[in-house]
Chains A and B, each alone.
Chain A
Amino acid sequence: MVMSQTKSSLGHAQPVGIESAVSVRNVSKNYDKVEALKDLSLEFPRGELTSLLGPSGCGKTTLLKIIAGLLEPTSGEIEVNGVKVTGPGPDRAFVFQDFALLPWANVIRNVSFGLELRGVAKSEREDIAEKYIRNVGLAGFEKSYPHELSGGMRQRVGLARALSVDAQVLLLDEPFSAVDEQTRRKFQEDLLALVQNENKTFIFVTHSIEEAVYVSDQIAILLPRPSRVSEIIRPSSFRGKGVDNIRRDPEYLDIVDEIWASLRSYVE
């Protein structure tokens, strides 16, 4: 689906025929004298999942936080749906690596907290929260507290909170890195379903090559010091073949190998 009310940013480097939800233009970020990001430009197609992948210290989380409006770029600009980003906004929602739940609040309050901050009435926001708690598979845990949940369940709460504010762009900062391997696989499958059903734009930071290739429509490889986009990969053939077949698809395996080959020299 193409949203009609948004200005498309055609004319920038991007795959033909796909409109950008988020555009990053010539963004640099310096910490004192250290260049974290240098003149980085990237387009995020609407309704797709784009991964930011790179070795640690390549500035992928910095870029995500700049898109979120949590950090200011030193130069350059971000546009979300054609509007310049000046700070956090209701068009973007963030999923945190360490979940960032309120430990004194139960699941339903945590999930509805974004709506609470926006001044939505209690009964209305709890109705919405309940719907997303069911969606992420936590029905029955509405009254539980975060310390009573496993890591995977806590991240489901974080995901439900981000979904319930109905932002067009979801920013995920290594969301599955703090959960165990099996939970992580389940999450990846659920994420694919989510991208299909929710019609939102996902920006996904990860350091796992397999994870990036598995879930992404587009993978941006970032190389460090200073960080820049070295390559954009768009897997094409295995996306429609079902979650069970992706990991043995030849293209999947080739892309994983190819990415490792280009990253290998940057990993000490």
Chain B
Amino acid sequence: MINSTIIPLLIMAALIMAVAPFLGRYIYRVFADDQIKKDTKLNKLERNFLSRIGIDPLAEQSWKAYALSLIAFSTVSILFIYLLQRIQYLEPGNTNHLHAVPPALAINTAVSFVTNTNWQNYAGESTMTAITQTLGLAVQNFVSAAVGLSVAIALTRGITRSRRNTIGNFWVDLMRSTTRILLPLATIFSIVLLSQGVIDNLVISRCITTIAGGKQCIPGGLVASQEAIKELGTNGGGYFNANSMHPFENPNFLTNFLEVYSILLIPFSLPFTFGNFAKKRREGITIFAVMLILWASSSLLLLHFETSSNQLNLAKTANLTAVTSTKVLPEGQDLRISTPSCAIFSASTTATSTGAVNCSLDSLEPAASGVALFNMMLGEVSPGGVGSGLYGILVFAILAVFVSGLMVGRTPEYLGKKIQGAEMKLITIYLLISPAAIMIFSAFAVILKTARTAVGNPGAQGLSEIIYSFVSTGNNNGSALAGLSSNTDFYNITQAINMVIGRFGLIIPVLALAGALVSKQAIPQGPGTFATDKPLFASILIATIVLIVGITYFPVLALGPIVAHLSLGH
């Protein structure tokens, strides 16, 4: 059974390997110093624009200034989207007469989209107006990804520059990310999606009378354009509640395949960008290989759990939703989208901080949703979100160097940069802050009665649902085991805080790390240094990631997915 289902996975991997080096190289050229300084027409246009809004486009920033600009930009974004939702009943074209979004939900949504999480405690088509979706949410789909990309580039500069004080200019990076990478790619991808039948119109709702005589209204909207960036920017916030299960978002096998591909493309290209910056291709390839191995193994595991045991599971629990004469169809999946597609889609989205779903995760095998959960617990590094995947894995790489690098008899260094107390402090904060928030919030949720009542399933699966929601928001993923009805004040607010911590609580230490490293002298590398561009290091890195995450979350995993999985009699 595995044999036939594995083919799309192999094609996917092959297509990624074919394109990622080139896109990575292109992204490098977008951010390379000499390219930014060149006097091309487009550069002049950009500089002109930035100068007009009061930014010196040629001045680079220290990490503090970079971080401040980033925080300022994100804060304004959050406030703007919050307001947009609160006053949307005034907006033109609100023919569905949607009301203002309640405050707690509006905060949750605003934070969710600005932090690139795209957790949705609402149903898109019945809560948000077209203007809110397009002007607020779709814009954030671009810029929140651009923010992540900028931070990754800033850290890359920090590691690869020697004896400097600056790590780039946030506004320039943000602008170039958006206009030169995300917009062109999204445009191409939207057109492809349009050709396959994804809608993109200004028709608000089309109402028909069904065969049975009932009245059904199907909302339209600018879906294709939002769908493209939803995937490319590893966002995942669907225009419709059903997300990529909805035929207007994901009509056929080809779009499904392409959506997965576009989710993975940029995160998998960034290691090559890193290698270009470092002027050492092999360093980039090593990071890429680690990402690829982690992604492929989680996809295979998920595929295995879903395809091998579904029938048995369903026969037992009699949870059938559709039975044909020859085939048992599992719960929570659309006929168009086969089980293997669902597995690859779920593995890829949870591995990339994309909250999109094309089947109901809550109906996955417990072991399969456990894999999805573990993917997110890795901190989104396999390959992770746009930008966040690269900076996340670089933090792990530095950690791996620190622990095992000592074993060659030198104090550890990564790409010639010594890793000392200051760096370890920031890395420790990075590794600590998100699990800490996730575990504290989850613990509160299981203690508080109001929070417990939101659980859709009893026992271990219920525990998984709560933990999943905080792991998902804490790692800025956004996917959900939807059994949890989390549109309550408690979840809206705690998740919002969790998302802020999971995004900016990590970005600030990362930028500080870039600042600490950029001023250091790079030490020449020789035969005595710890090689970070060899398969041996790739295995050490994988072991470090899995081990650190494993020992942090093992008890929780044991009580949630593992108990649920074993309870099914495997």
A, B assembled together = no
